[in-house]
Amino acid sequence: MSASVRRLALNLSPWVWAYLLFMAAMGLLIDVLWLGTPRIGAVPLMVGLFLNLSAVHSAQKVALWRTLPVSQRQIDLARWQQGAAFPILLFTLMMFVPALLLALAGKLRVAWPFIALMTAAQCGGGILLFGLSVALPAVRDRIGRGSAIPGFLLIFAIVYAPRLFRDSSLEGALEGLAGLGLLIAILLYILAGRWPLPLPVTGWASFWSTPPSENHPSKQAASPGLAGWPALVVAQAPALLLGWCLIPALPLLMRWTLGLAHMDMSFVAASGLLIGALLPTAALATALRALRALPLNAPALTMRLMAPLVAIQIVGAAIYAVTMAWLQPDYPLATGFALLPVAMPALIFALTLRFGPRIAQFSAAIAISLIALGNVFLLYSGFTITQTALLVMVLTGLGFLATLREIVSGRHAYRAQPLVPLSWRGR
């Protein structure tokens, strides 16, 4: 590895290191649990998902990397080191070091060949996802903003793999995953220098970066003659429709592709529900400077921003309830998954204005974590649907007040801007 590639590959910000350490600790915990209790199936595959995300963070830096005296191949090789080599090394250490310690203590419950197979499958899962993130921009340029959907499906597929393979040949699946990952790693290495540029905005915000294919004047829709807020809502319509469509589409696709006919899909559908409003939330929060210049006082502006976002989520919640009643009538409606997303835009909006665009970048992860934990809390607390609705109203109100406070006197509210330009130079 050349010095330049090493410098690029190790150019991780302290907060990314912290994130990696946290994820590594989580992964280590899962691995140790599995080594001592192998009946939990293929849960360690999730570790591969956690750590893959580190490679995505470099996307923000590629704009500067391209101006440095390094070749495109060196840039791609640095990304390969982060997305393939580094996880392989880390997964191996995280699995074999505790395995060795458990073996010495006489508490190892898994055979060494199977440990090696699981480690290879972890690497394979991570590399598979990394390969997807590398290929996604090229796919996106061709088929537009909905191209991230295959990524979501793959994430869910790997997350649900333990259940999928619970009663079938887990070894076979792990071998397949490991082999596929190895093949993709080799392919990516050979093709280094020809990779497409990463998505200019990482995470969920990438939906907002218009693919170059949609930039051509002939592809741009004619103005429908709307002005003011209706025009803004219409401009957000593609993302809203995408989110609403995902509510039934994600669980249906999961069932078709993985054959999980009897599994509870409440959480999968709820993630679709979240997407609809989180995208406009991030876009509006980063555009606050322009919005604040409108002839509106702070409460009026806050109301006009919050009301449509909440309305969008109420429509989404209705779609969610209908979808769940139709898709899985045997399961009770998870009121937490249905209603908590209604409060998320207001909360995420306020957090983005307070803590900057990274919140928008990770808005989906934050919101999903909050509704997952919130749903568990509501279940164990025995909240009725009315009580849940009241809680959601309170949370939304708090989000509204916090947003208003940031708009009036926030120090950072008008500095929230996209992390990187929404399109790459030279494309």
Partner 1 sequence: MNAVTLTHVERRLGGFALGPLSLEVPRGAVTAFIGPNGAGKTTTLDLIMGLGTADAGGIEVLGFSMPRDEVAIKSRVAYVSPDLNYTAWGKVGRVLDFVRGFYPDWNAARCTQLMQEFGIARGEGIAALSFGARIKLSLVIALARDAELLVLDEPTVGLDVNARQVLFREILDFVKRDDRAVLISSHQLSDLERLADYVALINRGKLVTMGRMDALVGRYVQVDAAMANGALPRLDGIKILDHDGDWCRLLLDRKAIEPSALAARGFTVTSETPMTLEEVFLALVDKP
Which residues here bind partner 1, judged by CB under 8 A? Answer: 4, 7, 11, 13-15, 57, 60-61, 63-64, 66-72, 74, 212, 215-218, 356-357, 412, 415, 419-421, 424-427
Write down the least CB distance from residue 216 to partner 1, Å: 4
Could you tell me which residues come within 8 angstroms of residue 226 by beta carbon, excluding any fewer than 6 positions away? 234
Catalogue the long-range contacts made by 254-258 (C-beta closer than 8 Å, 24 or more residues apart).
254/153, 254/156, 254/157, 254/160, 257/153, 257/157, 258/157, 258/160, 258/164
**Nearest distance from residue 68's CB to partner 1, in Å?**
5
Residue 319 DSSP SS3 = helix
Nearest to 362 by CA among 190, 206, 243, 143: 206
| Nearer Cβ to partner 1 (218/409) | 218
Minimum distance, C-beta of residue 357 to partner 1, in the bound complex (Å): 8
Tell me phi and psi for residue 328, to 5 degrees.
-140, 75
The DSSP annotation for 338-377 comes to HHHHHHHHHHHHHHHHHH-HHHHHTHHHHHHHHHHHHHHH
| b/e map 17-51, b = 16+ CB within 10 Å | eebbeebbeebbebbbebbeebeeebbbbbbbbbb
The distance of closest approach from Cβ of residue 88 to partner 1 in the complex, given in angstroms and rounded to an integer, is 25
- Exposure of 153 in the CB half-sphere (CA atoms within 13 A): 16
Residue 141 or 175: the one with the smaller Cβ distance to partner 1 is: 141
Q: 392, 414, 296, 410: which is closest to 346 by C-alpha?
A: 392
CB nearer to partner 1: pick between 211 and 374: 211
Q: How far is CA 328 from CA 153, 258, 332, in A?
A: 19, 16, 8
In the complex, the smallest distance separating the C-beta of residue 83 from partner 1, rounded to whole angstroms, is 17
The answer to whether the beta carbons of residues 268 and 251 sit under 8 Å apart is: yes
| Minimum distance of partner 1 from residue 6's CB (angstroms) | 10
Contact indicator for 249, 279 with CB cutoff of 8 Å:
no
Closest to partner 1 by CB, 171 vs 214, is 214
Closer Cβ to partner 1, 74 or 133, answer by number: 74
Residue placing its CB nearer to partner 1 in the complex, 26 or 70: 70
Q: How far is the CB of 13 from partner 1 (least distance, A)?
A: 6
C-alpha to C-alpha distance for 245 and 273, rounded to whole angstroms = 9
In the bound state with partner 1, the residue whose beta carbon lies nearer, of 215 and 384, is 215
* Least CB distance to partner 1 at residue 17 (A): 12
Which of 265, 419 has the CB closer to partner 1? 419
